[in-house]
Structure 1
Amino acid sequence: MGEFRIGAWIMNAAEGLHGVQTVFLLLMALVAVFAIVARRLQVPYPIVLVVAGLAISLVPELPRITLNPDLVFLVILPPLLFSAAWATSLREFRYNLVSITMLAVGLVGFTVWAVAAFADHFIPGLGWKAGFVLGAVVSPTDAIAATSIARTLGLPRSITDLLEGESLVNDATGLLALEFGVMMLVDGRTPTIQEGVIRLLWLILGGVGIGLLIGVVAAWFERWVDDGPIEIVMSLVVPYSAYLAGEWAKTSGVLAVVACGLYMSRKSATFFSAETRIQVHATWDALSFVLNGIVFVLIGLQLPYVVGGIRGYGVKGLLVYGSLFSAVLIVLRVVWMYPGTEVAYQIRTKLLKQKLHRRGSRAVFVIGWTGMRGVVALAAAISLPNTLGNGQPFGEKNLIVFLTFSVILVTLVLQGLTLPPLIRRLGLAGDMGARIEEEVARRLVLQEVITFLEQGRSQVGDDAAHAYKDLLHQYGHRLELLEDVTDTERKTEHDRGGSLADLSRNTVEIERRAILRLREEGRIGDEVLRTLEYELDLTESRANSRAIKA
């Protein structure tokens, strides 16, 4: 009998695994197919994937694929947050910190209270407390959605930096509001202002501290390892460790991952070899694309689940409430942007003495129009308790889930599709700042290498002088191209001879030290450094490959 039970358990587990495998392969196929469609249509792929998932969910008798909040928070979210933080420039993040705080704290708080008041007066079935919970769920913008769409829309870099920074840190405020909202709703207890301040400080300081601690340990360990596969595994372990440690300490796991990602991205230029960095970047690019794609397809597939749980509302009524609430949320963000931007400007220029141009009204409106919500909001809504503290069912939960789903669709699809023409209409397309900064960095680096070669040529014999002369010609030619062409694809010319290959690796190291120094001096940001670093990695990798073959 015992053997029969064990055999039955194994069969059931195998059947379950086959089911999971089938669902995963189906989602992967959908992501690949509709990502190709998005590229052909020249539309950001998250928008196409959400619409595709929505359309597929309407097919009759299709097996339902429900969204498990634990899958989002524990499996999907940590690596995507880590990847987004890794791609964020710490220089721009610190420079925009006041403006980011006005959005991540001020706007979130304003939205929560405004949504609570709106729900109490205009949405039947939702009182002030349930409205407060709804506001906490939908107030933070989504880091996954922001980084996936904003980068593909041609937004100016200054706007993209602000949006990404906001979406990475506003979780702490939203988490605090949700925690207090559930406390008021379930337990009937209203927290004090002192409790709120203490809890917010712990969420922020505790989360950031834990993330930095794990980042320091991981960076120390990375210095002793130079093996691509091992370091790829380590890079996957780190975000999960930071998130779980943050959640275990009752702080913000999201902020722990963000802080860890920012720190390790900053330090990666010193502990990764060229070959390892190329492998790690390629792996994370593919992983981020797959996870992002699955997330957006899953959002669309939730329509039957979201609508099926609602009772007492007709289809027309649901459409009206969903559209009205989405419009209100968009208006609240736009309304906050203008005074919030002015307050941030005054603080940054008067108190912090930053040299800052006042952001134009068109740019402010675009930032207000780009408040995208994503899968984290939906997972938070689904994870709300089903019963109250007195044992009564939490009947408003299904309506909260539906309104959250409506906001996600409107902000992702409607705002995502209207942003490109809006940006062009307002004359905000393109951003020369980062490109100019990159050109200046290239010129300074090349000049430093040329100086190094000229000094070295005078100290070597005739046998090695030809190598210096050849490289001087190559770097001089590249410098001439920079003087004449500002948007040309640059490729390092092939090296010739063993001594030339050795010298070439030395010049790459000079370039690498130069761009690191420029970043430390604040003259270039992390994004420009990563662009130049990637080119140097490719050059060094080719040189090492030729040396091995020789």
Structure 2
Amino acid sequence: MHTILPFLLAMIAAIVLLNMWANKLRIAYPILLVVAGLFVSFMPGLPRVKINPDLIFFIFLPPLLFEASWNVSFKEMKKWWRMIGSFAFIVVFFTALSVAIAANHFIPGFTLALGFLLGGIVSPPDAVSTGAITKFVQIPKSTSAILEGESLLNDASSLIIFRFALVAVGTGQFIWQEATLSFLWMVVGGAGTGLLLAWIFVQAHKRLPLDPQSNIALTLIEPYFMYWVAEEIHCSGVLAVVSGGLFLSNKRLIFLNSTSRIQSFSVWESLVFILNGVVFLIIGLELPEIVDGLRAEGIPLRTAIGQGILVTGVLIAVRIVSAYAALIATLVFRPGVLPRARSNRRRWFMPLLIGWTGMRGVVSLAAALSIPITLDNGTPFPHRNLILVITFVAILLTLLVQGLTLPSFINRARLYESFPEEPEDQRRQTMKHGLKQHSYQFLRQKYGNELDGHIGLEKFLKKWEERAKASEDNWMNDKTKSIFVELLESQRQYLTELNKDPKVDEDLIRQQLYQIDLEEERLRVV
């Protein structure tokens, strides 16, 4: 323990330094993480870390998926559900099928079952990588919403394919009738389990006398519990976490107070950041042993890298073709549901942009590491080391090639300029203006008789926007404070109703709700 603890602390410190370096270089930190993982594999003297493959999914996936579902905009997902659904299910299956056929044809000894296993691993684009890269460039809100929603659901669909392929490889057979029933149970049972447990957790948050620390601790338990229960009844733990996370995200204003929401945001952001970094460094620590395994199987490393490049090319090509196929199909069959475009250039460049954002990341890596070392009969799992190398190569190439070129691609093509949207500052000012009008009317209607002659309330009404900058707070007595808290709750209700308008950006709503939470916290120390 005394030996491994300094090493673990050094890993976390390295992750922090890499993130600082990435921010300075203005590139996404997953790009440096995957390069660091490769660099670690060449460093002599480092311990070779071995993690039980059965624990990989359970340790890493639940919190990563839960945090992603907590932050995604459910309103935007409903708005673009056709595009999101096609990419999250149809395109994922088409990608897995294409990888399976290519692997079966070009990789010696690869069966279709192994090909589908590899396809299920590498088919889902990574939400963290995409979000970290696109934060340095401006992209249309519709594209951002599609990418966020797709990245959340395609993890679930691809991992279901992975599970079925794993069974097929282990048993050597695949019965369609049983697989269909099992698939339906995994989907329906997983989503239902997640929603039921999420409702129970909401009631626990509301009814138990929990302080902010206990609330946050409970949110850390929830994704693991959802995943575990769903897997115990043989349905999809991934879907349980996703559906439960979406439900809890939409109820957060009901069962979490402002303190819990503010503190949980920082806790979860830090946890996911560390988990992402640890997975990339773990693969770096395991790469030497993986390479040794390849050599023992008689597979040259150069050959494995070449096969990884082949699979990566299939991934990129299939995603771009699928994006254009989805656009053409929509133009033919459902032109009315297409997003409005001010020019044909915008419409025909959008699929290319979506197709080029298919960076792979931590979910694919965790899935590959979770492959068992041996089959149930004790024989080594076929081509496990080769699958790990191909997965790492696919992640490395998509992050380096697509990740590094995506910002330049968007800027040089002037995609955003060709279809201008209302500037975010203008949308934010419009929302704040409506919020100020609502606040003024709320105070006038409910406390109009008390305003006259009350110095504190009059000052609050006239200068409530500058209250955080005030040099003295002696005007904030108990009466003013209670009215202020009531006003903040009224503002939350106003923003919640405003969010029902499909034209309103939910990200701006959430930012303003966070500011209201901070304002309420400031009152606690006044």
1:171 equivalent among 155, 164, 188: 155
Moved more, 117-126 or 417-426: 117-126
Taking the TM superposition and a 5 Å limit, the aligned residue runs for 1:343-422 are 343-344=329-330, 350=336, 356-357=340-341, 360-386=347-373, 393-422=380-409
Q: Which residue of 1 aligns with 2:324?
A: 338
1:285 equivalent among 269, 279, 288: 269
Q: Which amino acid aligns with 1:507?
A: L
Moved more, 116-125 or 362-371: 116-125
2:119 equivalent among 135, 150, 159: 135
SS of the residue corresponding to residue 364 of structure 1 reads helix
1:417: how far off?
1.2
Q: How many residues align structurally?
A: 513
Q: Which amino acid aligns with 1:321?
A: Q
Q: Please report the TM-score for the alignment, with normalisation by the length of structure 2.
A: 0.89
Deviation digits for residues 147-193 of structure 1 (CA, Å, limit 9, x no counterpart): 4444455443322221222222223432332233234333232322x
1:206: how far off?
1.4
Q: Name the CA distance, whole Å, in 1 between partners of 2:282 and 2:338.
A: 43
Q: Name the CA distance, whole Å, in 1 between partners of 2:524 and 2:375.
A: 64
Instruction: Determine if contact 1:457/1:468 at 8 Å carries over to the other structure.
Output: no
Q: Which amino acid aligns with 2:146?
A: L
| CA distance 1:428–1:70, shift in 2 (3 Å) | farther
1:467: how far off?
3.5
In the alignment, structure 1 residue 540 sits paired with structure 2 residue 520: yes
1:146: how far off?
4.0
Q: Please report the TM-score for the alignment, with normalisation by the length of structure 1.
A: 0.85
Q: Which amino acid aligns with 2:206?
A: R
| CA distance 1:299–1:345, shift in 2 (3 Å) | farther
Deviation digits for residues 270-328 of structure 1 (CA, Å, limit 9, x no counterpart): 22222222222222222222222222333444432332211323343333222222112
1:307 equivalent among 276, 291, 311: 291
In the alignment, structure 1 residue 531 sits paired with structure 2 residue 511: yes
Q: Which residue of 1 aligns with 2:253?
A: 269
Which residues of structure 2 form unaligned runs of 5+? none
Q: Which amino acid aligns with 1:441?
A: M
Q: Which amino acid aligns with 2:78?
A: R
Q: Name the CA distance, whole Å, in 1 between partners of 2:280 and 2:330.
A: 33
1:434: how far off?
5.5
Q: Which amino acid aligns with 1:469?
A: E
Q: Which residue of 2 aligns with 1:13?
A: none
Q: Which residue of 2 aligns with 1:198?
A: 181
1:437: how far off?
4.2
User: Identity over the aligned pairs, expressed in percent?
Assistant: 36
Taking the TM superposition and a 5 Å limit, the aligned residue runs for 1:425-444 are 425-428=412-415, 432=422, 436-444=426-434
Moved more, 25-34 or 147-156: 147-156
Instruction: Determine if contact 1:242/1:253 at 8 Å carries over to the other structure.
Output: yes
Moved more, 379-388 or 221-230: 379-388
Deviation digits for residues 25-61 of structure 1 (CA, Å, limit 9, x no counterpart): 1211111221121122111111112212211221123
Q: Name the CA distance, whole Å, in 1 between partners of 2:300 and 2:353.
A: 34
Q: Name the CA distance, whole Å, in 1 between partners of 2:456 and 2:103.
A: 74
Instruction: Determine if contact 1:67/1:379 at 8 Å carries over to the other structure.
Output: no
Moved more, 293-302 or 419-428: 293-302
Q: Which residue of 2 aligns with 1:249?
A: 233
Q: Which amino acid aligns with 1:322?
A: G
1:106: how far off?
0.8
In the alignment, structure 1 residue 514 sits paired with structure 2 residue 504: no
1:421: how far off?
0.8
Cα RMSD over matched residues?
Answer: 2.8
| CA distance 1:346–1:493, shift in 2 (3 Å) | farther
Which residues of structure 1 form unaligned runs of 5+? 1-16, 479-489
1:213 equivalent among 196, 209, 215: 196
Q: Which residue of 2 aligns with 1:469?
A: 458
Instruction: Determine if contact 1:66/1:305 at 8 Å carries over to the other structure.
Output: no
Instruction: Determine if contact 1:89/1:527 at 8 Å carries over to the other structure.
Output: yes
Q: Which residue of 2 aligns with 1:459?
A: 449
| CA distance 1:243–1:371, shift in 2 (3 Å) | same
SS of the residue corresponding to residue 463 of structure 1 reads coil
| CA distance 1:538–1:393, shift in 2 (3 Å) | closer
Q: Name the CA distance, whole Å, in 2 between partners of 1:186 and 1:112.
A: 18
